[in-house]
Structure 1
Amino acid sequence: MNYSLIRRFRMCWVPDVEGKDGLAGELSHPGKMPDMPVRYVGWLSRFAGRAAGAGQGGGRAASAGPGTGPWGLEGGRGDNVDLLILLSGPEPQRTLLERRLLDQMADYSGRVVLVRGLPAGAPATGVSATLPEGPTGASPRVNLPQRVRVYDHLPADELEELIRGAGQIICRSGYSTVMDLVRLGRRAIMVPTPGQTEQEYLGNYLAARGWAVCIDQKGFSLMDALAAAKGEWGEQGAGEGREMDIPGVRQLPDPAAGEGLLRQAVAEVLAMVRRELDAAREPEADREPGVSREP
């Protein structure tokens, strides 16, 4: 069915890199390609890119200024957050995972930021000691420890600081999330959305390459997940100079290279459109025999 939809277009852009270093495995490098031009345009991310040294043995983002960031940290960094939880995806699975995680917060003593992935609700800079009301069926209000902060959503710059600095990250294995994490040189504990086969494939594919720990939502245990991550890549504490060394990612093309690939693809499409417009405007007498006016 996907190929029948792709055939309606003249070119297929794939947000990945060409060759064996791709992030999406067979999803972006299938055995049978569409019967049209296919261009790999690199990874697309809302974030600025890896800091100098990130993913290569250390380094942090530059200071965003004192008193900024969700926790009001000195320098605005997220490096006093032990666990960052990024929720997203369709209901009711988003709420089911949220509830499961919050129910287990009593077992975890670290500082937590939970970003609910909701488009409306509390202001992005607001801090709440209770969980705001969610969709129908969610727990109406859940009392949380002061060490747990909940946001419906956050601006990209604040979210980037948290991703860079958090000790551990729990998130879905959607491809947009994957591209954002790799852009910043971070691994994560990934919990695929049940029933979304592409997320299940991506989570297991990335785990097999050492870039993630993939755990099913059913029976999810926060403490077991954190222990599995620690066993996979060691302790990731918060502190200046901590390494974010991701085996394999150092050999991947720089994410910024994707910007050049995307520009090339755009230029190619524009050139194609110009050729077709020129052909449509060409006088009939100047046309080669057998050349149709149809684009």
Structure 2
Amino acid sequence: MNATNKKIIIAPLNWGLGHATRCVPIINALLENEFTPIIASDGIALEFLKQEFPNLEYLILPTYNISYHRNLKLGLLLQIPQILKSVRKEKKVIDNFIKANKEVVGIISDNRFGVRSKLVPSVYITHQVNVLSGNTTSLTSYFHQKIIKKFDECWVPDNENSQFSGKLSSTKRNLNGKFIGVLSRFKKEVLKQEIDVLVILSGPEPNRTFLENKLISEFKNNSRNIVFVLGKVESEQKIWTSENIIFYNYLLSDELQKIMNSSKIVVCRSGYSSIMDLAVLQKKVFLIPTENQYEQLYLADFLEENRFAPFSNIANFSKEKISEIENYKGLKVAENRLNSQLFSLFQRK
């Protein structure tokens, strides 16, 4: 088979934009190593990657349709039948696609349980080997690790010492795990710091909108230069100004990289993909974890404890709190290039 005809299915979970954005450097690395990525997802994750890579082939997968519930554990418990149904459907879609496309030599799934196949080597990407859920953490971690074991390899986007993911990625179980380094679509640039505060919103609704409304009310009538990127992927990009704030509905990677590099301070969720991006860009950041989401609460607490960044919950946030950033060292990591040896798994006959 011709090297350039070797296709890899890459499938991020549609849960906010984090899973999709961290697949960008993997897609670029696949292209550099003469593989042809097939992007498989649904919703805004798929829409985002279509705009980033307009020339690639796409495969629409069944949606998991996960929604937030005030009680996250109860909410997820109630949605398990729907999730399992979607997992079975996507597994069928993937197998049918591989049978019809003999050029497919591998699968990379970012937290999509059913995107795997016995027909080709399958990789699972996660920084949450352990799934925090309060007093049911051991149970949720056990089931997640059981899913991970169904894949040939598990790639953890962090450095060997779990520098940014902490106990989320630490385990003594053999899960064929590989730490692949910090994943970010961005590169550090030395630009003039023209933006005083950059607010980046992300994540599923309605929490994204709650945070948007809270932060707009905090920052309006502020003398500083404030920019909001709303994280709303729509059919066309928009920019507008209201009082002292410049708004973008969303930005593609190149534009967002420039704006982030031009910012003194970033305010955002403590989602893991955001943390990796900010570390590569070596930014000072103030974090606001999503309520009732154990992973984000843990990450915010972990980064504060290690003096990387302060955080606040949404109810207690005020623009004055941002000054706490001065007492923290900020996020910083060397730029990571994926080792081409990672893809040797897909060279199997």
Tell me by how many angstroms 1:157 deviates: 1.4
Q: What is the aligned partner in structure 2 of residue 128 from structure 1?
A: 240
Q: Distance in 1 between matches of 2:253 and 2:286?
A: 21
Where is the strand percentage greater, Structure 1 or Structure 2? 2
The root-mean-square deviation of aligned C-alpha atoms, in Å, is 2.0
The answer to whether the 8 A contact 2:288-2:312 is kept is yes
Q: Distance in 1 between matches of 2:220 and 2:252?
A: 28
Where is the helix percentage greater, Structure 1 or Structure 2? 2
Counterpart mapping for 1:95-114 below 5 A: 95-106=209-220, 108-114=222-228
Tell me by how many angstroms 1:23 deviates: 1.2
Q: Distance in 1 between matches of 2:148 and 2:215?
A: 39
The count of residues paired between Structure 1 and Structure 2 equals 207
Q: What is the aligned partner in structure 2 of residue 270 from structure 1?
A: 346
Task: Point out where structure 1 has 5 or more consecutive residues left out of the alignment.
Answer: 52-59, 62-76, 130-143, 234-245, 278-295
Counterpart mapping for 1:129-278 below 5 A: 129=241, 144-145=242-243, 147-223=244-320, 225-230=321-326, 232-233=327-328, 246=329, 249=332, 254-256=334-336, 258-260=337-339, 263-267=340-344, 269-271=345-347, 274=348, 277=349
The answer to whether the 8 A contact 1:16-1:43 is kept is yes
Give the 3-state SS of the residue equivalent to 1:213 in structure 2. coil
Q: Distance in 2 between matches of 1:17 and 1:206?
A: 15
Tell me by how many angstroms 1:25 deviates: 0.5
Tell me by how many angstroms 1:248 deviates: 7.8
The structure 2 residue matched to 1:25, chosen from 166, 180, 199, is: 166
- CA distance 1:106–1:161, change in 2 (3 Å): same
The answer to whether the 8 A contact 2:309-2:331 is kept is no
The answer to whether the 8 A contact 1:42-1:255 is kept is no
- CA distance 1:216–1:248, change in 2 (3 Å): closer
Q: What is the aligned partner in structure 2 of residue 236 from structure 1?
A: none
Identical pairs, percent:
30
The answer to whether the 8 A contact 1:39-1:265 is kept is no
Question: Given residue 228 of structure 1, which amino acid in structure 2 is its aligned partner?
Answer: E
The structure 2 residue matched to 1:12, chosen from 144, 154, 176, is: 154
The structure 2 residue matched to 1:37, chosen from 176, 200, 218, is: 176
Tell me by how many angstroms 1:50 deviates: 2.7
Give the 3-state SS of the residue equivalent to 2:246 in structure 1. strand
The answer to whether the 8 A contact 1:82-1:168 is kept is yes
Q: Distance in 2 between matches of 1:194 and 1:164?
A: 28
Q: Distance in 1 between matches of 2:331 and 2:197?
A: 24
- CA distance 1:10–1:180, change in 2 (3 Å): same
Q: What is the aligned partner in structure 2 of residue 70 from structure 1?
A: none
- CA distance 1:25–1:255, change in 2 (3 Å): same
Give the 3-state SS of the residue equivalent to 2:220 in structure 1. helix
Scaled by the length of structure 1, the TM-score of the pair is 0.65
Extract structure 1 runs of 4+ deviating beyond 4 A.
none
Greater RCO between the two (CA within 8 Å, min separation 6)?
1
Q: Distance in 2 between matches of 1:151 and 1:106?
A: 16
Tell me by how many angstroms 1:213 deviates: 1.1
For 1:216-239, what per-residue CA distance to the aligned partner results, in whole angstroms no more than 9, with x for missing partners?
11232122x212223x14xxxxxx
Which structure has the bigger radius of gyration?
1
Tell me by how many angstroms 1:270 deviates: 2.5
Task: Point out where structure 2 has 5 or more consecutive residues left out of the alignment.
Answer: 1-142
Give the 3-state SS of the residue equivalent to 1:212 in structure 2. coil
Question: Given residue 229 of structure 2, which amino acid in structure 1 is its aligned partner?
Answer: V
